[in-house]
Amino acid sequence: MDKMNTMESVQPCSGSYSYKRDLLLNVWLMVAAVVYVISLFLLKHHPDWTPLTRGLVTLSPLIPGLLYVRSCLRFVRGLDELQRRIQLEAWLFASLGSLIVATVVNVLNASGVGLAGLDHGLSLWGTYILTFALWLVGTAVANCRYK
Amino acid sequence: MKNHLRELRTFNQWSQGDLADKLDVSRQTINAIETEKYDPSLPLAFKIARLFKKPVEEIFRSDR
């Protein structure tokens, strides 16, 4: 039987880092990034393609992206029960935090209180970075609570 | 929930890491249960009871 997953096994600086586990978890994310770059290149150099073809090429990173989600779910299922709870709390904190920040920015913009650089709300990358930062905070707080 | 996990573990001269390996959980989980910051799931509680050959209610009891 495989040993349970640990968060340390996918953190490069930790003592129990496992290259194999990291690869199993993140390989589809890397594939998605490569497919995304290729799709951008193709769309730029083939403006003559039909809207259907362009749509399919644009959405092509979604397939490895969904496979990445599956890898994440499998990894979380293999986690120890306390780590699963910590991750659940951290993701809840990150997703609700992002939702609240996005709502606040939009409400402020709608009421005429424009925030510098956020006139059109949070960008896609801004949302990703905010969610990741809040996940880090959430994981650290939950880890401290159960230390 | 109160528990006697630390006493049982030290009686058997196991470290937290030893017990974690036997139960296939992390050392952090054992520590959190011993310090009563985390209540284990029912399957884990039964696993602990089986390992120490004691009834669950003898290891864990409600603090209410």
Tell which residue, A124, A83, A111, A56, has the closest CA to residue B30. Answer: A83
Residue of B nearest to A8 (CA): B26
**pTM, whole model, 2 decimals?**
0.79
CB B40 within 8 A of CB B33: yes
Tokens standing for B47?
């696993």
Q: Are B44 and A81 in contact (CB < 8 Å)? A: yes
Give the E-state strand segments of B1-64 in sequence order. 2-3, 60-61
B29 and A85 in contact by Cβ < 8 A?
Answer: no
User: A97-119, pLDDT tens digit by residue?
Assistant: 999 999 998 888 888 887 777 77
A16-46 pLDDT, tens per residue?
A: 778 788 888 889 999 999 999 999 999 999 9
CATH number of this structure's domain B2-54: 1.10.260.40
Contact between residue B41 and residue A81 where contact means Cβ atoms under 8 Å apart: yes
Q: From chain A, pick out residues whose CB is under 8 angstroms from the CB of B44.
A: 81
Q: 3-state DSSP call for residue A91?
A: helix
Q: Pick from B3, B12, B2: which is nearest to B52 by CA?
A: B12
| Residue A1's pLDDT band (cuts 50, 70, 90) | very low
CA distance linking residue A31 with residue A37, whole number of Å: 10
Which residues are CB-neighbours of A43 under 8 A, at least 6 positions away? Answer: A49, A54, A57, A58
Domain boundaries, chain B: 2-54
